[in-house]
Structure 1
Amino acid sequence: MPSTVHKYAACIVRKSSSSLFILCCILLISIGWTIVNLFKTRHESGAEQSVVDYIAVNLKVKIKAGDSMTTARSVQITLSNTGHKDILFGKWRIYFYSLTPSTTSKTAGFEVGWVNGGLYFLSPIKNEFQGISAGGSLDLIFREWKSSAKIDHFPNWFVASNTYGISSPRIIESTKDESLSFVSSFENSFQWKRHEFDTYNPYTPGERYEMNKAFQDATLKGEFNVIPTPFSVKIVPNKKIVFDDNWVVVEQASINKEHVPASRILAMKLGLTEVLQPATNRGYIMFESDKTFNKEQYEIKVEAKTTAIIITSSNGKGAFYGIQTLISMLDSSNIIPECIIKDHPRFPYRGLMIDVSRNFHNKETIKKLIDLMSLYKMNKLHMHLTDDEGWRIEIPSIPELTKYGSRRCNYFEKDKCLNPSLGSGPYSSGFYTVSDFREILRYAKERYVEVIPEIDVPGHALSAIKAMQYREQDLQRLKTAEKLPSYILSDDVSGISSVQGWMENSINPCLNATYRFIETILSDLQVIYQGIQKLDRIHFGGDEVPTGVWEKSKTCQSLFHGNSLDHSTIKKMFVFTVADIAHKHGLQISMWEDGVYKKTQGPYDVKEFKQEEVYVNAWSNMWEAQTGGRAIEFADSGYKVILSMATHLYFDHPYEPDPEERGLYWATRYIDTYKVFGFMPMNIYANAEFDSLGNKINLNDLCRGPCPNTKAPDNFVGMEACIWSETIRNETQLFEMTFPRLLAFAERVWHEAEWEKLKAPEEGDNTKRRDFKRFVDIIGKNELSRLEKAGVQYRIPPPGLTFTESNRVAKINNFYSGHKVMMSFGNDSKWRSVGKEIQIPEGVSDIHVYAVSPVLNRKSRIVSLDISNGADSMYTYFSCTCTFLILSLYVIVNS
């Protein structure tokens, strides 16, 4: 008889066998369940991916702005199924980007949802979405979505599953076009006018013809063709030299070591030999030194008797600007008059700001931009490296900033990145490695351009905030959080969005990690600059911080001990703390104007900063908003002011008041080259001609009396043209928006024109127009071909065009000389080159023309003119009259 121990042991064996059996069953069931789910997931993934792929290929998107009084503030989106299968309800969404959101939350069976910033989606609603049959279409109406230009819409819509990781997103093929061909043309004023009081209309071909004609002058001699215009030019009549490739450059390294880089650049640019001594039988270029000259001053003497050109300066920078003038002279003609040119810049700060955060531009594009800046004697490149949409510079101590903050990906993927933005499609990335940025710095230094980095804080900081959240997750997962510093930058629970629609985009000034973060960034930047350029100045942004964003912060409440939290007090604390950190690193600071300004009180006391100089970019000058005089306020308060006026110097705005033109238009409807050329930096209110709707401004009403001028003109230290990149996604678009406007900017920031000093407005305007004719002549004859030879795709204005019914003659002109015009008739696809006039055959009902550039044969927009039955002018008059009457009625009804 077995013992109790044996019975217990046998029981254990039986129980163990039973447990083992149960465990095996559970394991088999688990494996089976996993296999079934794996196949199910793969099946679902494959099924959902096939739906996503089908929609991407076969869904045609068409957008049309409202075209009547009742629909003017709406947009219709038509989704057409061009394939052979129905598009049914499913786990998919269509994503698109918009800077002008609608109030519509549901339409045609779709939920209209919002992610962040300007990213929206259309999600089919179960039992409401009826599907889009093969060959069928669906119209979606978005209320309170005012679209006044094609550029209000973005390319690269994409479709994706709304289940995490189930399929890959795809760009909808019909929206890939950068020309936005899926957006219908804007054909009447209800579509392009932003407001019932908006006076702007697109130029007609006839209006453009008259404008082109007004700025052409056949009497211009073009004897001295240099941009920017030198301070003083004295020409000796009837004495000239002929320049050829037998000339030499005299190298005087032992005497003028600072001039060696300039002499070598000149020899390379002109293909000349460098020699140690001038030869009696050859023309020569030589550099001389005069220590009484300031750093950017130079003099050029052209001597016919000795066949010599002498460039005098105090250092390499002045010599460099001298050779740029000489190269410009020789590019236009190899015959140069005997002359003495004395030149120096109007302002020490001649800047260009480029936004590489919204849409990234690689180092090669930046280097090309630096080349062009130096060609026109500009010396400051302000790089907007960070914003909500991307962090674009590698910071070795915090690699997550670019690992996560420079990448965009689909919102429903299990990846750490930012959401897609600004028509980038589901994926995009880009940043400068330390090596890339140092290469940019070296390139800039050789061309006497200082690179000023901008780290935009505390607002516009979503990319940094998200990257640091992801970093913290990584540290927690790897259990290294205690070993490495935390950079959590926000505890935002405010529910307040920025003006661009971004949530949680403001760094919290009450967190210690904020200042640890700033300290690390500055330390790494100084190391990046080391040995190339000295980092003297950092731009901290400071603009557009959403009011009230910190008041609910528990950290801020704790810091202020329960006292009433004031947004401006917290922001001011941040600004001065960051400035102190910068000062500790030996850095001067720059800010956008609203970063150091309190409404109703004015600029912060500049004496509270430890820096010797605080630079401010004065930008927010929409005249009707009563902010145009802030530049004067800052100058009179002791700040150094950089004029960056949005109404004249924001090159992200269109060239014309036309819905076909690229560019945002919130500050002004357009900024053409003449407007930039005519900007008067030392007479701020003289630039206030029209408000943003085109209505004439009464200066007495605007200023409530005589308009003030600054009491501290020396504090106006320069100007900066700004290229924000929301609508600029590639190099072609970048250069089209920058040139030729940047030439007008370079002219104004280097050279003070005589007409700026004239007191009588009419006299000043007439003199300005004559000066602009001279400028346009030089641009057309010389500079545009130089730009194209450098691979720069500048904007080509469309031609002007008129038609006389009595003799059936069309007249054509261009804004710039050197461009030819191509014409076609009616539906004829044949294009022919035409001169200034052409006889139009009988039976032709409409004419189409475009301009062509002289070097790269690039094309302008096509301009069309209806000449059917001679009724064009009467039709135009009738339609405009009707539109005016309808708009007037609309105003009366809504008053």
Structure 2
Amino acid sequence: MIFNCDQKPTEVVASQIIPVPNEKVVSESYFILSSNIGMQYDVAFKTSADFLKTFIEEGSSIKIKDNNDITFIKDENIKNPEGYQLEITPSQITIKAKTDQGASYAVQTLRQLLPVGFENGSFASREIAIQCLKIEDAPRFQYRGMHLDVARHMFSVEFIKKYIDALAMLKVNTFHWHLTDDQGWRIEIKKYPKLQQTAAFRDETLVGHFSDQPSTYDGKRYGGFYTQEDIKDVVAYAKNRHIKVIPEIEMPGHAQAAIAAYPELGCHEDSIKVAKTWGVFDDIFCAGKDEIFVFLQDVLDEVITLFPSKYIHIGGDEAPKTHWKTCEACQNRIKKEGLKDEHELQSYFIQRIEKYLNNKGKQIIGWDEILEGGLAPNATVMSWRGTNGAVEAAKQHHNVIMTPTSHCYFDYYQSTNKDEPLAIGGYLPLEKVYSFNPIPEALNQEESQYVLGVQGNLWTEYIPKENQVEYMVFPRALAMSEIAWSKRENINYEDFVSRVEAFNKRLEALEINYANHLYEVEGELISEQGVPSYKLETLIKDKIIRFTTDGSLPTQESQVYKKPIPFTEDMTITAAVFNEKKQLGTTFTETFNYHKAVGKNITLNPDPSKVYSGSGAQGLINGISGSDSRYGDKEWLGFWGDDVEITIDLGKAMEINSIKTRFYNGQGQWIYAPKKIEFTFDSEIESINIPNTNDILVNTSFNRKLKTRFIKLKIPNYGVIPEGRQGSGNKAWTFIDEIIIN
């Protein structure tokens, strides 16, 4: 089976593997895969070998024989149970691993060395030349997860399997299945039939965004649940692909659907309905009644029989204490147990559940709110509200899984393109996902060992369709898989993007509806010799950008972008990526409003949140206004709970007539416009009040003719969010857009 290196191979797939292997050495020769090739394997690797054989035979006309051209060898010297070695020579393909899981990852790597036609059975040739190489590989983190919320919107068992297949291809080893929430209970519990009859269905569903006013609904009953047979089917399917399935049964919060079915589970036993809108609700499981724990233990007993994973996720997030404060049973529990307050009552609740599950041989995972009031002894913390929860837990020697909203929430917008499907908010492009280092800087080497890994999350309030799930997850899941698997020194975004471009063809063959933003244009205002200029770029470096500055659509004849475009007057830039034949991506449009502060010096105190830092301080005076509907783009700056002070230095005293800006007021996302702004001009101070409104955008304008060099804006934070509102008890966010000075 030696291939003559002087002979040109029929087709060779470039080595563009995701996630990138730890060590790879490529040689000039090739292995020819044809129907003359056979396979042998250690019996321990039957699952992986069968997968490879089926993949080749169903993807092509090639049939695998019974000899040792492709060999699976069990190697106990490989330290990591998920590690593998893959060696391809002109005469043989050898896979070495300690476990079948490691062997399966070698197979997934080999899969990416075959043409995409193998993915859908369209490969027509009778042989294929595979690049000779040697790979030694193992994961950086032991926990590499992807999440899917099916409580808000439910998806078929067949789609769940397709989702799992895609994760397996990326060497993801954990599927976090969010099965219960306020808007629906999706798992069959035989002892409590009303969970299927009542809790699994809502009367109707919110139309549009939570922040849209007035709220409207579709008037259609929605729901369903997975039978226990469905669950067993999915778990077995995932196991065959070396993916653990971790169920999430929310408690004590996000329980309105369960309480709608069994009102006695709540504090006041009121008759309520399954939630038909999104958000956080006051109806949570009562912590004062022993029968609540009986119910939850019964539920968990059935859950345990369905999921062999050592972990059960119990939520623990966003549990308002409103009813607990007025509940006689809860207050009696606080006194009886010697607890300080309702936060310690939640800790009691979580620890009681944890003890029960520990006795059943299971461990709990909870969102980082389970730190409040004291952490359960053996709990693993899933850190979503930033990295502080992870740092706190790791310093207490608790395991943590990193999943901060800033880098891991795939329900956020991934592009500033105005045609993007409706999303919850935020802005998380592919590059930002890829930039995430799961080890927080605040941890030392010993504490870092408690970081088990990283997970991408997909909440589905605004994702009703299966193809939209795919659109939101891919290609961001590719970035997540690489930072979870690959060595930090191998992380290179430019190289990754080139591999994504090739990988997208594989997604197409698999009929996965990925989002392709590789050919979109990105822009940034810079200063060149004191003159503001606008820089254009695209992710793929070998493509051409063509543009116009008069608002007309770019064409194949439009000017080629070569250097930043001077910004000295109002203009509208349109641009797009082209190859030699056609436009590849969507058209980029940016409108510029030239005013007196553009390009001047600006300082902020404090800095904006790292999650919502936009284009930084200069983004407030770059002549570009933010989106009318998305607070998380590059132009809006977000501050959490802080009073903000902004100072603009015009360089010299200038005549000004007006100062305009606007605030985002998406109260469903904890974002509130301030109540006033104070202006200081050199030594003069004035202030304006901002009227209270439910409008999403709040415009403000200070109109007065004066001469000044310095303009200072003091913007007090709204304060604590009132009871009865989303996020009550927390400090509000302040989001500010362009400050326009004329």
1:320 is matched with 104
The partner residue of 2:291 within 504, 507, 513 is 513
- Give how far 1:312 is off: 0.8
1:570 is matched with 345
1:215 is matched with none
The partner residue of 1:363 within 150, 153, 157 is 157
1:77 is matched with none
* Contact preservation (8 Å) 1:381, 1:451: yes
2:196 is matched with 402
2:301 counterpart of 1:523: yes
What residue ranges of structure 1 are gaps of 5+ in the alignment? 1-220, 279-283, 412-419, 470-486, 622-627, 686-706, 756-767, 803-810, 839-844
Q: Structure 1 residues 245 and 222 mapped into 2: Cα distance closer, same or farther (>3 Å)?
A: closer
2:445 counterpart of 1:651: no
Per mean C-alpha deviation after superposition, the further-off stretch among 653-662 and 636-645 is: 653-662
The structure with more radius of gyration: 1
Cα RMSD, aligned residues only? 4.3
- Give how far 1:658 is off: 6.3
2:173 counterpart of 1:379: yes
- Give how far 1:394 is off: 1.4
- Give how far 1:835 is off: 9.8
The partner residue of 1:555 within 324, 329, 339 is 329
Within 2, Cα distance between the matches of 1:570 and 1:812? 54
* Contact preservation (8 Å) 1:547, 1:567: yes
The partner residue of 1:583 within 350, 358, 368 is 358
Within 2, Cα distance between the matches of 1:670 and 1:331? 34
Q: Structure 1 residues 253 and 289 mapped into 2: Cα distance closer, same or farther (>3 Å)?
A: closer
- Give how far 1:273 is off: 2.3
* Contact preservation (8 Å) 1:459, 1:507: yes
The partner residue of 1:235 within 11, 19, 26 is 26
1:750 is matched with 485
Within 1, Cα distance between the matches of 2:468 and 2:556? 26
Q: Which is bigger in relative contact order (C-alpha 8 A, separation at least 6)?
A: 1
1:676 is matched with 433
Report the TM-score when normalising by structure 2.
0.66
Secondary structure at 1:550 match in 2: helix
Within 2, Cα distance between the matches of 1:660 and 1:744? 23
* Contact preservation (8 Å) 1:851, 1:860: yes
1:87 is matched with none
- Give how far 1:292 is off: 2.4
- Aligned sequence identity (%): 25
> 2:84 is aligned with what amino acid?
Y
The partner residue of 1:287 within 72, 77, 101 is 72
2:463 is matched with 728
- Give how far 1:751 is off: 0.6
2:53 is matched with 264
Relative to total residues, which structure has the larger helix share, 1 or 2? 1
Give deviations 1:625-646, integer Å, cap 9, x for gaps. Answer: xxx4331221121211101111
Secondary structure at 1:323 match in 2: helix
Within 2, Cα distance between the matches of 1:288 and 1:734? 38
- Give how far 1:619 is off: 1.2
Per mean C-alpha deviation after superposition, the further-off stretch among 817-826 and 714-723 is: 817-826
Give deviations 1:156-182, integer Å, cap 9, x for gaps. Answer: xxxxxxxxxxxxxxxxxxxxxxxxxxx
- Give how far 1:269 is off: 5.7
Within 2, Cα distance between the matches of 1:783 and 1:340? 21
- Give how far 1:425 is off: 4.6
2:375 counterpart of 1:604: yes
- Give how far 1:662 is off: 4.8
Within 2, Cα distance between the matches of 1:785 and 1:569? 52
Q: Structure 1 residues 888 and 462 mapped into 2: Cα distance closer, same or farther (>3 Å)?
A: closer
- Give how far 1:746 is off: 0.5
The partner residue of 1:620 within 364, 378, 385 is 385
Give deviations 1:348-394, integer Å, cap 9, x for gaps. Answer: 11001111112222222221111110001001000111111111111
Q: Structure 1 residues 567 and 361 mapped into 2: Cα distance closer, same or farther (>3 Å)?
A: same
Secondary structure at 2:456 match in 1: strand
* Contact preservation (8 Å) 1:651, 1:737: yes
Secondary structure at 2:262 match in 1: helix
> 2:412 is aligned with what amino acid?
H
1:250 is matched with 39
2:520 counterpart of 1:799: yes
> 2:413 is aligned with what amino acid?
P
Q: Structure 1 residues 657 and 858 mapped into 2: Cα distance closer, same or farther (>3 Å)?
A: closer
* Contact preservation (8 Å) 1:820, 1:834: no
> 2:431 is aligned with what amino acid?
Y
2:17 is matched with 226
What residue ranges of structure 2 are gaps of 5+ in the alignment? 1-11, 118-127, 206-213, 524-534, 562-570, 600-620, 626-647, 649-657, 663-676, 680-686, 689-713, 715-742
Q: Structure 1 residues 241 and 729 mapped into 2: Cα distance closer, same or farther (>3 Å)?
A: same
Within 1, Cα distance between the matches of 2:23 and 2:363? 34
Give deviations 1:648-673, integer Å, cap 9, x for gaps. Answer: 1111112245666456677xx42111
1:49 is matched with none
Within 1, Cα distance between the matches of 2:37 and 2:297? 51
> 2:463 is aligned with what amino acid?
I
Secondary structure at 1:251 match in 2: strand
The partner residue of 2:500 within 759, 779, 794 is 779
Within 1, Cα distance between the matches of 2:515 and 2:45? 41
- Give how far 1:886 is off: 2.4
Within 1, Cα distance between the matches of 2:217 and 2:472? 18
* Contact preservation (8 Å) 1:795, 1:860: no
2:93 is matched with 309
Within 1, Cα distance between the matches of 2:423 and 2:445? 30
Within 2, Cα distance between the matches of 1:309 and 1:564? 63
Within 2, Cα distance between the matches of 1:255 and 1:584? 32
Q: Structure 1 residues 270 and 728 mapped into 2: Cα distance closer, same or farther (>3 Å)?
A: same
Secondary structure at 2:427 match in 1: coil
Within 2, Cα distance between the matches of 1:525 and 1:287? 36
Report 1:876-887 matches (<5 A).
881=623, 886-887=659-660
* Contact preservation (8 Å) 2:113, 2:131: no
> 2:509 is aligned with what amino acid?
K
Give deviations 1:697-751, integer Å, cap 9, x for gaps. Answer: xxxxxxxxxx554642211111111111222221222122111111011010001
- Give how far 1:433 is off: 2.0
- Give how far 1:256 is off: 5.2
Within 2, Cα distance between the matches of 1:555 and 1:736? 46
Within 1, Cα distance between the matches of 2:333 and 2:454? 40
Within 2, Cα distance between the matches of 1:353 and 1:792? 17
> 1:490 is aligned with what amino acid?
C
1:296 is matched with 82
Within 2, Cα distance between the matches of 1:255 and 1:441? 20
Within 1, Cα distance between the matches of 2:572 and 2:623? 22
Q: Structure 1 residues 247 and 540 mapped into 2: Cα distance closer, same or farther (>3 Å)?
A: farther
Relative to total residues, which structure has the larger strand share, 1 or 2? 2
Secondary structure at 1:569 match in 2: helix
1:538 is matched with 312
Within 1, Cα distance between the matches of 2:311 and 2:44? 33
> 1:727 is aligned with what amino acid?
Y
* Contact preservation (8 Å) 2:40, 2:70: no
> 2:109 is aligned with what amino acid?
T
Q: Structure 1 residues 247 and 574 mapped into 2: Cα distance closer, same or farther (>3 Å)?
A: farther
Secondary structure at 1:745 match in 2: helix
- Give how far 1:223 is off: 5.7
Within 2, Cα distance between the matches of 1:661 and 1:240? 45
Within 2, Cα distance between the matches of 1:714 and 1:820? 45
Q: Structure 1 residues 825 and 397 mapped into 2: Cα distance closer, same or farther (>3 Å)?
A: farther
